[in-house]
Amino acid sequence: MVASAVFITDLKVIISRNYRGDIPPTTCCAAFSSYISETDELDRVPIFTLDGYTYSYIKYNNLYILGVTKRNSNVSLLITFLYRLVGVFKDYFGELEDESIRDNFVIIYELLDETMDHGYPQALDSKILREYITQEGNRMEVISKPPVALTNAVSWRSEGIKHKKNEIFLDVVEKLNLLVGANGTVLSSEIIGAVKMKSFLSGMPELKLGLNDKLMFEATGRQAQAKGKAVELEDIKFHQCVRLARFENDRTISFIPPDGEFDLMTYRLNTHVKPLIWVEAVVEPHKGSRIEYMIKTKSQFKSRSIANNVEIIIPVPSDVDSPSFKSSVGTVTYLPDRDAIVWNIKQFHGSREYLMRAHFGLPSIGREEAREGAWKQPIEVKFEIPYFTVSGIQVRYLKIIEKSGYQALPWVRYITQNGNYSLRMA
């Protein structure tokens, strides 16, 4: 069992569903509200027990989505369920907020009834749910059958889908997580990649995706290719449509895709990556009068690539005033509400180096401790480099076979972005 009841609350119950009738909803909701309002934000944990009832919650916008249980539930499943439930609501209502809940409470009850039964998650695929739980005001037509996909082995795709043009779009998106220590060494670097698909294919297509996966090459005895540009992925996670046993067996990625947008797979690589965008900061504080920053940034990728919309975010003390900037490229803005300056560079070509100077006044009597804290925050960098993957991963082929025999074209794009990309200041 996973949950006895699910609540959506902004600390006053907005809507709830008591699946098992073994918890007192009003008491529980009040207990949860007082936990949230009385516990310091820093001391809160996402799972806690009060009076024998265990609360697990996630936060979305100003709402808490909360599962309550009396038993030794599988919390991992509960948390995943809550996130997916939010996903379903977002798909249905565009956004999940107290207003959209009140506007749609009837359908929310229906969804709560269908997504979980007696505390066990059931159907959480909004595309399939939409086939029999619809919003159209007066539902005149009687739906006479549950969609086959609800109980089928292929629970994510309905039969009889038709598209005029059969197309499929692949985006390979890589995010670079990077942490550079104050002494300039890379403490950790990690690539989190995702193959995102937008599928507009008719019928029940069988797809096979080929990547330059080193282990696959090895498995199929293509050592020569393996040596070349193959990439060794450390861990891969697949959408439920991918046949995992098959992948485990010979590393073939085969699947029947859902219709529309979905993440086919995510992968993780833990290789030592050179920081694509390097930032160095020299800070000179003059107590009681001013503080000066000299920021140097360098792009460390091939010169024909371009990083777009680069933002370098540098934390500054909270009590600075009268900012002035000088930079060889881009624009610099001071954001007092974030205690930071942001250096924007629209287009940052590879193998370039730029300089920026910032100057602030400081009040003559400053709060020493506050300044101390601000210094410790690392510099953050945001960027986007199209037509490029750090890992070197490539889509070798995407085979699409449907019994009607249509031809479909796959479109592939690559992009690299910043993930959790930060450099500690010296």
Partner 1 sequence: MPSKPKTAGGSDSRFFTTQKKGETHELRTDLHSTDRSTKVDAVKKVIASMTVGKDVSMLFTDVLNCIQTDNIELKKLVYLYLINYAKSQPELTLLAVNTFVKDANDPNPLIRALAVRTMGCIRVEKITEYLCEPLSRSLRDEDPYVRKTAAVCVAKLYDIAPELVEDRGFLEILHDLISDANPSVVANGVAALSEIAETSGKDVMKISTSVLQKLLAALNECTEWGQVFILDSLSKYTPADGREAEGIIERVTPRLQHANSAVVMSAVKVILNYMNMITTEDTLRTLTRKLAPPLVTLLNSEPETQYVALRNINLIVQKRPQILENAIHFFFCKYNDPIYVKMEKLEVIIKLVGERNVEQVLLELKEYATEVDVDFVRKSVSSIGRCAIKLERAAERCISVLLELIQSKVNYVVQEAVVVIKDIFRRYPNKYESVIATLCENLETLDEPEAKASMIWIIGEYAERIDNADELLETFLETFEEEDPSVQLQLLTATVKCFLKAPEETQEMVQRVLDMATEESDNPDLRDRGFVYWRLLSTDPEAAKAVVLSEKPVIEDDTSKLEPELLDTLISQIATLSSIYHKPPEVFVTRANIRSVAEDDDEEYEYEDENDVGVQPSADGPVDLLDMGGGGGEQNGSAPQQNGDVDLFGLDTGGGGGAPAAGPTCVKTQVCDGSQSGGIIVNCGFMQLNGKVSMELDLQNNGQIPVTTLAIQLNKSAFGLAPTNQQLAFNPPIQAGASGSYSIGLTVTPNMMVPVAAGAAAPPTVQAAIKNMANNSVFYFAANFTLESIFSPDGALDRTAFINTWKSIDDTKEVYSTVQLATSNIETIIQKFAATNIFQIARRPVPNQPGQEVVYFSCKTMTQHSFLAELTFKEGVSACKICVKSEATAYASLAKEALERCAK
SS3 of residue 277 by DSSP: strand
The nearest distance, CB 359 to partner 1, in angstroms, is 25
The nearest distance, CB 89 to partner 1, in angstroms, is 10
Binding mask 324-363 for partner 1 (x = CB under 8 A): ----------------------------------------
Residue whose token pair is 């330059």: 212
Apex CA 2: angle with CA 112 and CA 152, to 5°?
A: 65
SS3 of residue 9 by DSSP: strand
N- to C-terminal Cα separation, the chain: 50
Helix ranges restricted to H, 94-136: 98-103, 105-115, 126-129
The nearest distance, CB 322 to partner 1, in angstroms, is 26
How far apart CA 133 and CA 43 sit, in angstroms, is 40
Which residues are within 8 A (CB) of 249 and not within 5 positions of it... i.e. 6 or more apart?
none
Query: Can you state the angle between helices 105-115 and 75-93, rounded to 10 degrees?
Result: 140
Q: Tell me which stretch binds partner 1 (CB under 8 A): 238-246, 277-285, 352-360, 398-406.
A: 238-246
How many alpha carbons fall within 13 Å on the CB side of residue 279?
29
Binding mask 105-144 for partner 1 (x = CB under 8 A): xx--xx--x---xx-xxxxx-------x--xxxxx--xxx
Pick the closer one to partner 1 by CB: 73 or 299.
Answer: 73
With binding defined as CB under 8 A, does residue 297 bind partner 1? no
Q: Which two tokens stand for residue 361?
A: 């006044």
Among 220, 240, 271, 331, binds partner 1 (CB under 8 A): 240
The nearest distance, CB 26 to partner 1, in angstroms, is 7
Q: Which of residues 406-425 bind partner 1 (CB under 8 A)?
A: 420, 422, 424
Binding mask 184-223 for partner 1 (x = CB under 8 A): ---xx-x-x-------------------------------
How far apart CA 275 and CA 178 sit, in angstroms, is 7
How far apart CA 290 and CA 317 sit, in angstroms, is 11
The nearest distance, CB 342 to partner 1, in angstroms, is 17
How far apart CA 302 and CA 349 sit, in angstroms, is 8
How far apart CA 383 and CA 417 sit, in angstroms, is 6
Q: Which two tokens stand for residue 225?
A: 């290719």
How far apart CA 385 and CA 301 sit, in angstroms, is 10
Q: What is the DSSP-derived secondary structure letter of residue 344?
A: E
With binding defined as CB under 8 A, does residue 232 bind partner 1? no
Among 288, 336, 373, 386, binds partner 1 (CB under 8 A): 373
Q: Tell me which stretch binds partner 1 (CB under 8 A): 261-269, 273-281, 291-299, 330-338.
A: 261-269
Pick the closer one to partner 1 by CB: 308 or 375.
Answer: 375
Among 38, 62, 248, 364, binds partner 1 (CB under 8 A): 248
Phi, psi angles (nearest 5°) of residue 127: -65, -40
With binding defined as CB under 8 A, does residue 250 bind partner 1? no
Pick the closer one to partner 1 by CB: 90 or 290.
Answer: 90
Q: Which of residues 67-106 bind partner 1 (CB under 8 A)?
A: 69-77, 79-81, 83, 90-91, 93-94, 99-100, 102-106
The nearest distance, CB 220 to partner 1, in angstroms, is 18
Pick the closer one to partner 1 by CB: 52 or 405.
Answer: 52
With binding defined as CB under 8 A, does residue 318 bind partner 1? no
The nearest distance, CB 375 to partner 1, in angstroms, is 9
Q: Tell me which stretch binds partner 1 (CB under 8 A): 10-18, 222-230, 329-337, 397-405.
A: 10-18
Pick the closer one to partner 1 by CB: 235 or 337.
Answer: 235
* Size of residue set near partner 1 by CB under 8 A: 107
With binding defined as CB under 8 A, does residue 368 bind partner 1? no
The nearest distance, CB 140 to partner 1, in angstroms, is 10
Apex CA 397: angle with CA 396 and CA 402, to 5°?
A: 170
Q: Which of residues 32-71 bind partner 1 (CB under 8 A)?
A: 42-49, 51-52, 54, 56-58, 69-71
Distances in Å between the Cα of 369 and the Cα atoms of 162, 292, 304, 319, 373 are 64, 19, 45, 11, 6
Phi, psi angles (nearest 5°) of residue 137: -15, -80
